[in-house]
Amino acid sequence: MKKFNGKVLVVGATGRTGLWVLRRLQAYDIPARAFARKADKLAEFRDLEVSLGKIQNASAIRSAVKGCDAIICAIGATALFGESSPVQVDGDGIIRLVDIAKENNVKKFILISSIAVTKPLHPLNLAFGGVLSQKLRSENHLRKIYGQDGFAYTIIRPGGLKDGEPFKHQLQTGKGDTISGVIDRADVAELAVLSLWVKRVENETFEVIRSAPAEQKSLELYLEKL
C-alpha cells in the first residue's frame, strides 16, 4: 500500500533540495508535479509532470496547484535583488503560494524553512537581504492559514545544507530555535516526504541537524519522537 495517496506539487523543484524531494517521492512511488522556472534541470526524471512559472506569477501558481493534494516547498532566494531575492521568494512568494494553495483546496503544505529564523541579528540575515526574517514572515502566514480545520502544515527548519547522500547520519531535532549545525539536503528532502503521512508532525514547526555518521534504515523515528 502506498504511504500517501495523492499528487504532490514540488515548488523549487530544480533546487538542490527540490531535486532530492523529487527523487524521494519517486522512491515511494508518489506522483509528483514540479513547479519550476525552466525544465532543463529536471532531465533526470522521465515522465515527470512539469508546470512552468515563477513564484511571482499567480496564474502560473494557480495552474500548478490544480489537482494537487499536497505541496512540498523547497524554494529559496538565490540573489540579493530582483525576482530571486529573499523578499520576493522567501517572503512574498511563499505567502502567495500558501494563499493560492488554500483557495484551491490543497490540504497539506510542507515548508522547508531554516534554523535561526527567529534571530534577526544572525549574520546570514544581516548579509543576505533579511532572508531569515522573510522566512519567518511566510512561516507565520502558513501557520495561520494552514492551522485551520481540514488543512495541515509542517515546517522543517534545517541547519546549514550539505550535499551528501541520504541516510548516512543520525539526526537531532529541536523546537524553539535553539540548536545549530548542518544537515544533508537529501535527509531534509526525506523528512519533507515523510511529513506527508507521519501524523506526529502535522501542524508542527521543528529544527533539524545531523549528528554522528551512522547508516540509517529510516528517518521516520526522528519525526515520531519529536
Ligand X SMILES: NC(=O)c1ccc[n+]([C@@H]2O[C@H](COP(=O)([O-])OP(=O)(O)OC[C@H]3O[C@@H](n4cnc5c(N)ncnc54)[C@H](OP(=O)(O)O)[C@@H]3O)[C@@H](O)[C@H]2O)c1
Contacts to ligand X by CB under 6 A: 12, 14-18, 37-38, 41, 54-56, 74-76, 78, 83-84, 89, 112, 114, 158, 160-161, 185
The answer to whether 137 touches 91, Cβ cutoff 8 Å, is: yes
Residue 97 vs 106, nearer CB to ligand X:
97
Q: Give me the least distance between CB of 5 and ligand X, in Å please.
A: 26
Residue 53 vs 152, nearer CB to ligand X:
53
Residue nearest ligand X, CB atom distance:
15
Q: Give me the least distance between CB of 2 and ligand X, in Å please.
A: 26
Q: Give me the least distance between CB of 188 and ligand X, in Å please.
A: 7
Residue 48 vs 75, nearer CB to ligand X:
75
Q: What is the CA radius of gyration of the chain?
A: 16
Other beta carbons within 10 Å of 193: 29
Phi-psi region of 18 (alpha: psi -120 to 50; beta: other; left: phi over 0): alpha
Residue 175 vs 199, nearer CB to ligand X:
175
